[in-house]
Chains A and B, each alone.
Chain A
Amino acid sequence: MSRRIVVPFGPQHPVLPEPIHLDLVLKDEHVEEALPSIGYVHRGLETLVVKREYPEYVYIAERTCGICSFIHGMTYCQGVEQLVDCTVPERALFLRTIWSEYSRLHSHLLWLGLFADALGFENLFMASWRLRESVLDVLEETTGGRVIQGSCKVGGVRRDIPGETLDRMRSDLTAFERRARDLAEVFLHDESIASRTRGVGVLSREDAYELGAAGPTARGSGVGIDLRKTGYAAYGRLSFKPVVETAGDCHARCAVRVRELFTSIEIIREAIAKIPDGPIEEKPKKNPEGDYFSRAEQPRGELVHYVKGDGSRHLVRSRIRTPTLTNLPALVRMLKGCNLADVPVIVLSIDPCIGCAER
């Protein structure tokens, strides 16, 4: 006879690097409903915007999340630049693009490792994280930081990358790509991974669209939204195609991220080939005034920074919308009807970043 029970999952749980709580309503082994509750890492950093001057808040914006830190800083800067009438020099835009894509590489490899670990494939976790270290080496060499880069500022970037370093980064990508291909082979074609992920946590195209899924979660269900196509930073001058898969299951979401590794490699190659010489920053001419929604594609999906200024050195409002929060309704839909044993894999398949989501 079947019984309904509620199993608490988290906030501290072996599979979760970060705290989130789910109440799983079970009927035998089947999940009938999943009720998330969050707030364990909420800091309230958006309110700091009134206590810090606008150039200083870049550091806070970057620390919204340690994984996509560069993109947070950049999106905030993009917003403020609209309020201070400042045209960012071309070279700075290309450098931002290059660093954004390296951030994406490191974030996706990190996720692939965690995903492999959730599947019980520890060897693959180690292999992914070993490859990720070579991305962090590039970030550390060019910005000085492994996970928090601090290289973006309002009006441009803080550091230039010398030409010979760019050339070396470009040639190093060949070996990197070869190693990434080996990893991709396992993630895309391994039988045990396929049997754990195919048909698990299916999200239909309609649901993905209606529930407002973002990033690889949406693209895994056939919704081809990629904010990079709006052409912010230097993306408008580069040719690339968003990666879209149609199956909508955990395997498809994994495949999107695996294939995006190679898109990022191509973007970096093209950006290094096309980067112009010139200055890397322009000084803001006035204090921020007015408001602006700045959008960018983070490794997890669409990121929005809303900024509002009143002409003083302090902004009056900052609001951040992160992809993990918008993916939570989709996650709840995926969990409905799954087996309890599949919960960790499904939760990880949206690449939850709670640090971002709660700020």
Chain B
Amino acid sequence: MTYLSRSPWILHYDASSCNGCDIEVLACLSPLYDVERFGIINTGNPKHADVLVITGGINEQNREVVRNIYDQMPDPKVVVAVGICACTGGVFRECYNVVGGIDCVIPVDVYVPGCAARPESIIDGIVRALSVLEEKRAKGRDATATVARGGE
């Protein structure tokens, strides 16, 4: 886990979940799973967050909300779709108000399946997301260096 050199902060948003995955995301913060030992903190402010954890699928009303939260987060950022609804729409896929998975509105980096996703798999998904975050950060550094050298 060498890439955990910083403390990644997560922002959790419930798109149209049944709560099952939400309470499992929160359970990750409780003493049994305790992700705070990795420096992971659940923040409520998009401007503070590195990782966006979304549960549930996109529906007509929250489309803009999700887009808005994502746009407010500073780069580099990663998105983790937790639970089958966030991945594809899940059992609610055929509901009239459900548009589909999170990736029909914003780019998703890690998909965590399950109904409800277990805390172990959520933690696993977030750890994977952190390596994606590190890659994005390295790319960002390279790009800045190129600009500094006069855009070779």
**B-contacting residues of A (Cβ < 8 Å)?**
11-15, 17-19, 39-45, 47-48, 51, 59-60, 63-67, 69, 110, 113, 126, 129-130, 132-133, 136, 145-148, 353-356
Contacts and interface: CB of A to CB of B under 8 A. Distances in A.
Contacts of B96: 44, 47
A130 B31 CA distance: 6
B72 to A, nearest CB: 10
A64 B54 CA distance: 18
A11 B20 contact: no
B145 interface: no
Interface string B60-82: 01100100010000000000000
A146 B18 contact: no
14 contacts: A17-B14, A40-B16, A41-B62, A43-B95, A60-B91, A65-B19, A66-B19, A66-B20, A129-B32, A146-B116, A148-B115, A354-B14, A355-B17, A355-B18
The 10 closest A-B pairs by CB, nearest first: A66-B20, A14-B44, A129-B30, A66-B19, A355-B19, A44-B95, A44-B97, A41-B16, A66-B18, A130-B31
Interface in B2-39: 12-24, 26-27, 30-32
B15 A41 contact: yes
A110 B23 contact: yes
A347 to B, nearest CB: 14
B145 to A, nearest CB: 35
B14 A41 contact: yes
B49 to A, nearest CB: 11
Contacts of A64: 18
Given A41-B59, A354-B14, 5 more contacts: A42-B97, A43-B57, A59-B91, A67-B23, A126-B30
B69 A12 contact: yes
Given A43-B92, A66-B116, A146-B118, A12 B17 contact: no
B65 A19 contact: yes
Contact of A148 (B27, B30, B57, B116): B116
Nearest to A18: B14
B56 interface: yes
B127 interface: no
Contacts of A110: 23
A59 B92 CA distance: 11
A129 B116 contact: no
Nearest to A127: B31
A41 B23 CA distance: 15
B16 A148 contact: no
A280 to B, nearest CB: 24
Q: A interface, by DSSP: helix, strand, loop or mixed? A: loop
Interface of B: 12-24, 26-27, 30-32, 43-46, 56-57, 59, 61-62, 65, 69, 91-92, 94-98, 115-116, 118
| Most chain B beta-carbon neighbours within 10 Å: one of A12, A43, A66, A356 | A43
B21 A39 contact: no
A147 B65 contact: no
A240 to B, nearest CB: 26
A47 B45 CA distance: 35
Given A12-B13, A60-B91, A148-B116, A42 B61 contact: yes
Contacts of A129: 26-27, 30-32
A188 B57 CA distance: 39
B62 A40 contact: yes
B95 A45 contact: yes
A59 B61 CA distance: 25
A147 B14 contact: no
A118 to B, nearest CB: 12
Given A18-B19, A66-B22, A148-B116, A43 B32 contact: no
A43 B100 CA distance: 11
A132 to B, nearest CB: 8
Given A12-B65, A42-B61, A48-B95, A147 B16 contact: no
A356 B17 CA distance: 10
Contacts of B16: 40-43
A43 B97 contact: yes
Contacts of B57: 43
Given A14-B44, A40-B62, A45 B22 contact: no
Contacts of A51: 94
A129 B69 CA distance: 28
